[in-house]
């Protein structure tokens, strides 16, 4: 099943996170092969990672608004913003369908986080350099 999930990641990610185009995000190339969506206007980037050893997919949010490149895991930002428990964001993937469900839940969490990232509390979130 890992091969099915790994082979499907790019297509499912484009289908799911591609919906951010209406919010100023576009697919971005990465040197390391991850799938990224970037918004120059918001100074944000979303990077998807698949761990085929642990069978999970995770989302990293990269912020460049402070003049430096800093990042945090979506579930950490979600929890710190008091949007809900990190369990709201599905990550376990064993099949293409579970990959779709996980990415849909992570996209929904990211969309809920966007107003926080646009606000004055952005710098108070648990960013890492």
Instruction: Tell me if 122 is assigned to some domain.
Output: no
Residue 123 lies in a domain: no
pTM of the model: 0.91
In a domain, 16, yes or no: yes
Q: Note the Cα 70 to chain centre separation in Å.
A: 14
Domain housing 106 = 2-117
Report the pLDDT value the prediction gives residue 28, as an integer from 0 to 100: 85
Q: Classify residue 68: in a domain, yes or no.
A: yes
Average pLDDT, the chain: 90
Q: What percent of the chain has pLDDT over 70?
A: 95
**pLDDT number for residue 6:** 81
Q: Give the span between the Cα atoms of 114 and 11, in whole angstroms.
A: 24
Q: What is the pLDDT of residues 48-93, one digit of tens each?
A: 888 888 888 999 999 988 888 999 999 999 999 999 998 999 999 9
**Spatial CA neighbour of 111 closest among 26, 11, 19:** 19
Q: How many domains does the chain have?
A: 1
Look at residue 4 in the predicted model and tell me its pLDDT.
80
The two structure tokens encoding residue 56: 């999970």
User: Is position 28 within any domain?
Assistant: yes
DSSP character string of 34-84: -EEEEETTTTEEEEEEEETTTTEEEEEEEE-TTSS-EEEEHHHHHHHTTS-
Domain membership of residue 124 (yes or no) is no
């Amino acid at each position: 099943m890992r091969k099915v999930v790994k082979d499907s990641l790019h297509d499912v990610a484009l289908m799911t996170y591609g919906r951010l185009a209406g919010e100023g995000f576009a697919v971005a190339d990465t040197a390391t092969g991850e799938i990224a969506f970037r918004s120059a206007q918001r100074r944000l980037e979303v990077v998807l990672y698949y761990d085929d050893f642990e069978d999970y997919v995770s989302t990293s949010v990269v912020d460049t608004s402070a003049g430096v490149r800093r990042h945090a895991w979506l579930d950490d930002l979600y929890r710190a913003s008091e949007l809900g428990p990190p369990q709201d964001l599905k990550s376990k993937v064993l099949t293409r369908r579970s990959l779709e469900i996980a990415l849909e839940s992570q996209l929904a969490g990211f969309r809920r986080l966007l107003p926080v990232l646009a606000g004055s509390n952005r710098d108070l979130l648990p960013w890492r350099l």
